[in-house]
Amino acid sequence: MGIQGKVVVITGASSGIGAATARLLAAQGAKVVLGARRTEKLAQLVAEIVADGGVATCAAIDVTQRGDMVRLVQMANAQYGRVDVLVNNAGIGTLAPFDALDVDAWDAMIDVNVKGVLYGIAAALPVFRAQGSGHIVNVISTAGLRIVPQQGVYAATKNAVRTITEALRQEAGPALRVTGVSPGFVKTGFADRMPDGPAKAATLASMDDIAIAPESIARAIAFAIEQPADVDVGDIVVRPTAQG
């Protein structure tokens, strides 16, 4: 029970929900192993956590590369002797109507949001099975719960992860735990990859008006992790009170 001493691997950890989760779990005594593409931000985060008395390490990874996910999990296992939790947090989103035919963006969302999660599962499961315990936390989205125009492909990738999460939970058996966390509108860099235009402007305006802090999602993840080993928190939805 609890978070103290647990080894937690987090993808997409250089900013937003991933960084907030790393800070919170490290403050509660977890050993966090952080992966992302932006090495400078990762290094800064690790230095911050260590300066505050926490334990953290990092590696540059791309979740669309299966070998990178294996390397990240194996690094954590080699350094700390086990892996207790994998937080599949890395994700991207592009909002556009289907008529825009932004097929490259569709491919990127499928590669990161779906295949990235599967690669994380494939890397962690053998370690979890060998040690007889483990916990996979998949960060999903409320976009898959309420379908709206311009979010069709993004929502589809998140609903794919929702299906993967529930199927894995049912297959996991009594020794493994599986949790899906669906954030609503959160103050992150979600809009950074969007092209300039009305959709991006509307997203940024809504973010300023109603979005909640990434720490709100980090607390939900911590809640699932800190439960006793025989308690599986299957699904958590966290959204702003102002979100429709």
Per-chain mean pLDDT for the chain? 94
Rg (CA), the chain: 17
Number of neighbours of residue 53 by Cβ within 10 angstroms = 9
Predicted local distance difference test score (pLDDT) of residue 191:
63
Confidence of residue 200 (pLDDT cuts 50, 70, 90): low
Tens digits of residue pLDDT in 114-159: 999 999 999 999 999 999 999 999 999 999 899 999 999 999 999 9
CA 128 vs CA 22, 76, 141, 170: distances in Å? 21, 12, 25, 16
Cβ atoms 125, 74 nearer than 8 A: no
Tens digits of residue pLDDT in 30-46: 999 999 999 999 999 99
Predicted local distance difference test score (pLDDT) of residue 155:
97
Number of neighbours of residue 56 by Cβ within 10 angstroms = 24
Q: Is pTM beyond 0.85 here? A: yes
Distance separating alpha carbons of residues 185 and 21, to the nearest angstrom: 16
Distance separating alpha carbons of residues 33 and 156, to the nearest angstrom: 29
Sign (positive or negative) of CA dihedral 7, 9, 14, 19: negative
Selecting among 106, 128, 154, 185, the annotated active-site residue is: 154
Distance separating alpha carbons of residues 180 and 117, to the nearest angstrom: 12
Structural domains of the chain, ranges and CATH numbers in brackets = 7-234 (3.40.50.720)
Structure tokens at 206: 């809504």
Confidence of residue 197 (pLDDT cuts 50, 70, 90): low
Q: Give catalytic status of residue 80 as yes or no.
A: no
Distance separating alpha carbons of residues 230 and 237, to the nearest angstrom: 21
